[in-house]
Structure 1
Amino acid sequence: MKTKAMLTQNEVTAILNAARTEAQNNGWAVTIVVADDGGHPLALERLDGCAPIASYIATEKARSAAVGRRETKGYEDMVNGGRNAFLSAPVVCSLEGGVPVIVDGQVVGSVGVSGVTATQDAQVAKAGVAAIAN
């Protein structure tokens, strides 16, 4: 039987704090979602001034990064490269800004961010993931 790490509230808090700091240092109003390895939200934080729709989009980015086991930028690149079928794929958000949390080669969760440009969303998500990188 295999075993793997799991996110606890300590890691979730560290991820949120690092992502929030990155966003606030850049003056970006975003929503940050941390999800478990099945894409289920463990925490959601919408910073002041962020549009309500970002909560939905960040959640879908986190879900897609977790269950797809890859950054959502990969899906966006596929669509932009002409694979339009991914636009109708279930449980796939084809927008950059979802990043898996990988520990010992296993996806243990993800971070989804929405509210600014795709590259900026990804920057905030990656800052959160880096808070617990081993």
Structure 2
Amino acid sequence: MRTIAALELADCRRIAAAAEAMAAQHQASVSLAICDGGGHPLLVVRLDGASPSSTAVAMAKARMAALNGKPTADQEAAINGPRPALLQLAGVFKEGAVAMGGGLPLLHSDTCIGGVGISGMTPELDGAIAAAAAAALQGQPG
């Protein structure tokens, strides 16, 4: 048997603060979502000016990253290239999950313990904000 780390509210707040700081630097109106390793929501924030639909998309990106343990941008690239069958993953998960850039798995000791999803801007900016958020879990500067 092994012990698996779990995200706590303090972790989620640190991750969200890093995402909010990066979004502010870029004047980005985004939503951010953090979920646990099972894809269940832990924290969802819609920044001022972000589209209402961006909250659902951010959660779907976070869920896909957590359940698949891979960046959603990599999954999007695979779907657009050699692996269109990966489109079926969202249906397998039975809840909203999308393979669009802006979602990253949250790792602890090489184990996926959750996911972060950012939605509202370009895939590149969403991804950069997600990277800053994920780095905050590791105590790294965004």
Whether TM exceeds 0.5 here: the answer is yes
Per-residue CA deviations over 1:8-59 (Å, capped at 9, x if unaligned) read 0110000000000000111000000010011111000001111111111101
Aligned counterpart for 2:104 among listed residues 79, 99, 102: 99
Give 1:5 shift: 1.2
1:14 is matched with 14
Aligned-partner Cα distance in 1 for 2:7–2:72: 20
Aligned-partner Cα distance in 1 for 2:83–2:6: 33
Aligned counterpart for 1:125 among listed residues 123, 130, 135: 130
Q: Which runs of 4+ in 1 moved over 3 A?
A: none
Query: Where does structure 1 lack aligned partners over 5 or more consecutive residues?
Result: none
Aligned counterpart for 2:121 among listed residues 102, 113, 116: 116
Q: TM-score, normalised by structure 2?
A: 0.89
Q: TM-score, normalised by structure 1?
A: 0.95
Aligned residues: 134
Query: Where does structure 2 lack aligned partners over 5 or more consecutive residues?
Result: none
- Sequence identity, in percent? 35
Alignment of 1:1-134 (within 5 A): 1-89=1-89, 90=91, 91=93, 92-133=97-138
Q: How much is the aligned-residue C-alpha RMSD, in angstroms? A: 1.2
1:133 partner letter: Q
